Every structure is written in C-alpha cells, then in structure tokens.
C-alpha cells in the first residue's frame, strides 16, 4: 500500500527534476550559441582591422620610398614585396 503511494510521488518528482534540468541545459546552450556568435563577429572585425592596417602600412611605406628614395632599407623592401 505504501509502495502505491510513494511510486507516483517519486515519478512526479523525477519528471519535474528532469524537466528543470532540460530547461537549464537549453538555457546554457542558448548562452553558448550567443557567445559564439559574438566571438565570431569580433573575429571578423579584428580581421578587417588587420587588413586595413596592412593596407595602410603598405601605402605609408610606398609614400616613404617615393618621398625618400635614397633610404630604402632591406627590411622595408622585403616587407612591401610580400603584399
């Protein structure tokens, strides 16, 4: 008789705990997804900034070579030839 009383109670408690765990897992998955999208956007921004910096460095070095043609250094020439 006691078994018939505790079994449904135990079943309800188990179902409730499972439901709450599933909700927490879904919430954590949503947070991870949100953070990964944010990280992806930051990576794109940093990549664009690096490309812009390389282009600016190239133009600055080109301008300097045109302005001061008597002083090209070997490092500058090698760096600019890589672009």
3-state helix, strand, coil in the chain (%, to 5): 90, 0, 10
pLDDT tens across the length of the chain (83 residues):
666 778 888 889 999 999 999 999 999 999 998 888 888 888 899 999 999 999 999 998 888 888 877 765 665 555 655 55
Q: Is the pTM of this model over 0.75?
A: no
Angle at 35 between CA 48 and CA 19, to 5 degrees: 160
CA dihedral 21, 24, 25, 30 (to 10 degrees): 160
pLDDT attached to residue 19: 94
Residues in the chain: 83
């Amino acid at each position: 008789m006691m078994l018939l009383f505790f079994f449904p109670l135990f079943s309800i408690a188990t179902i409730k705990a499972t439901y709450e765990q599933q909700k927490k897992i879904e919430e954590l998955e949503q947070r991870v997804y949100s953070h990964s999208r944010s990280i992806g956007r930051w990576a794109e921004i940093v990549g664009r900034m690096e490309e812009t910096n390389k282009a600016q460095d190239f133009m600055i070095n080109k301008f300097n070579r045109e302005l001061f043609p008597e002083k090209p250094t070997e490092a500058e020439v090698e760096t600019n030839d890589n672009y």
